[in-house]
Amino acid sequence: MEEDNIRIKCSAKEHEKIDAISFCHQCDVYMCIKCDNFHKNLCQSHITYNINKNIDDIFTGYCKEKGHNNKIEYFCKNHNQLCCNACIIKINLEGRGQHKDCDICFIKEIKESKKNKLKENINYLEELVNNIEEKIKQLKTNIDKINEGKEELKLKIQKVFTKIRNIINKREEILLSDVDNKFDEKYFNENKINEIQNLPNKIKLTLEKGKLINKEWNDENKLSSFINDCINIENKIKITYDINDKLKKYNEKSDYKFDFYPTEDNIINKLLEPITSFGKIYCGNSILFDSKIIEGNEQYINNIIKWINCKSQILTQLLYRMTDNGDSYDIFHQLCDNKGTTLILIKGKSGFIIGGYTPLDWDSISGFKKDNQTFLFSLTKNEIYIKNENSPDSIKCSKNCGPYFHCFGFKQGYNMSKVYVGSGCANYNNLEKIISNDKETGSFDVDEVEVFKIIFN
């Protein structure tokens, strides 16, 4: 074949200077626009290719490898590819001999196997086109539901913001935009549908082409062309299969639930002062407000959700941050006592992130408390540490301590800027070194501590 940068000319002698736009298999000719229009009316059953769009599908009977220009006579079983003499020559030089070590046969030898494969592909394509059409129909239905949910979410946001409109106009615009962004990230949209809208029609064309080849299979003059078409059909099926798999995955994403928090009047009134950071669009099971430690890291959030093992939605309210509120235990107790279930996040100086979870109330006087749900964890190591059954307690509550988990936390004699790890951590299953230091006990400086109230929705 001619090189890509050279335009193919029309095969008609009177049009030999005009660029060809199509190629006909049966006639074995290139056609300009005039010849193509005439040919479509005269030979409606012939298979033609648009040169600009389908150049790889055009079969001329000659090898497409650069510099070969030999007639196709062989088939490479290793690469499922038609070959010429130059492709299988034993000397690998100047673009020749690419298949010198492959399993090669004459084209006629694979006639029956390719015919059987074609029949299989015809059946597969018939099933595939129906399957994809059904998935596209389902995808459209899901998009309608998603758009409906998106509009409902926008209305919910707008209803909240009417109470504080003069202060939060700018923030509202950001959140409404964030809704669209979140939906585009998690769901499918019209652009993705448009990309695959014509896929069933393309499959149908390939299917019809396969059926036509199957009818004319015994025409020995066209065998090479038919084998080439069979190879093209096989390659297109691989591509289409991947698209079909993506459609399935898109449809499986339709169970995300987005919402907006808060809507309660008492919480809204409390948040009027820090209005510049008020509100957040979220989906899935959890939302962590304003965590400087994990900064919206989805993997960390998903790990926490998994470890808490809660099927309902989880919301959090920031109670305490060391860099904002100070490192004294008095401030911790003032802000965090008797708040119910809490999650503590700790970031060490070396960058490790550790913490603890407990459904027990913190307070200043109770001393030791015990339950079966309290645990420690390392987000850096992706590990959870569950207390042994014979462990005497879960947490310690004292005015002289911060949040303290039996052997780990903010101990008497320290403050919220130092975390203590004691030998008693052996009471926790699989806990060897809770932080990324060589030693297991001692005190360690921290950059940040955050305490969140857990709200089960």
- In sequence order, which residues have a C-beta less than 8 Å from that of residue 39 and are 6 or more positions away? 22, 24, 27, 31, 46, 48
* DSSP letter string, 84-103: -HHHH-SS--TT--TTTTS-
Q: How far apart are CA 254 and CA 3, in angstroms?
A: 48
pLDDT tens profile 221-278 = 888 888 888 888 888 888 777 777 777 776 776 666 777 877 777 777 766 666 666 6
Would you state the pLDDT for residue 106?
95
Strands 29-31 and 74-76, bridge-based pairing: unpaired
Would you state the pLDDT for residue 327?
93
- Domain-by-domain residue ranges, the chain? 13-108, 111-255, 285-456
Sheet holding 29-31, edge to edge: 29-31, 22-24, 48-50
Q: How far apart are CA 404 and CA 414, in angstroms?
A: 12
What's the N-to-C CA distance of the chain in angstroms? 67
Q: For residue 282, which of 256, 311, 307 has the smallest C-alpha distance? A: 256
Neighbouring C-beta atoms of residue 242, cutoff 10 Å? 10
Tokens of 43: 């030979």
Would you state the pLDDT for residue 438?
40
Q: How far apart are CA 286 and CA 436, in angstroms?
A: 27
Would you state the pLDDT for residue 56?
60
**What's at 137, amino acid-wise?**
K
Tokens of 182: 């979140």
Would you state the pLDDT for residue 4?
42
Q: How far apart are CA 420 and CA 450, in angstroms?
A: 16
CA angle 99, 55, 29 (to 5 degrees): 100
Neighbouring C-beta atoms of residue 127, cutoff 10 Å? 9
Neighbouring C-beta atoms of residue 351, cutoff 10 Å? 9
DSSP state of 197: T
Would you state the pLDDT for residue 3?
39
pTM, to two decimals: 0.44
Would you state the pLDDT for residue 251?
72
Would you state the pLDDT for residue 266?
76
Q: How far apart are CA 135 and CA 204, in angstroms?
A: 16
Q: Are 353 and 446 in contact (CB under 8 A)?
A: no
Maximum distance among all alpha carbons in the chain? 103
- In sequence order, which residues have a C-beta less than 8 Å from that of residue 424 and are 6 or more positions away? 406, 407
Scanning the structure block, which residue is given the tokens 């959090």? 316
The three state secondary structure string of 285-348 is: CECCCCCCCCCCCHHHHHHHHHHHCCCCCEEEEEEEEHHHHCCCHHHHHHHHCCCCCEEEEEEE
Would you state the pLDDT for residue 385?
84
Phi, psi of 312 (to 5 degrees): -90, 175
pLDDT tens, residue order, the chain (457 aa): 343 445 788 999 999 899 999 888 788 888 999 999 999 999 988 878 887 765 666 677 778 787 787 889 999 999 999 999 999 998 888 778 999 999 999 999 999 999 999 999 999 999 999 999 999 999 898 888 888 888 988 888 888 888 777 777 787 888 888 888 877 766 666 666 776 777 788 888 888 888 888 888 888 888 888 888 888 888 888 877 777 777 777 677 666 677 787 777 777 776 666 666 666 666 655 566 678 999 878 889 888 988 988 766 778 889 999 999 999 999 999 999 999 999 999 998 888 899 999 999 999 999 999 888 899 898 988 888 887 666 678 899 999 999 998 778 898 888 999 888 776 665 555 454 554 344 445 678 899 999 999 988 7
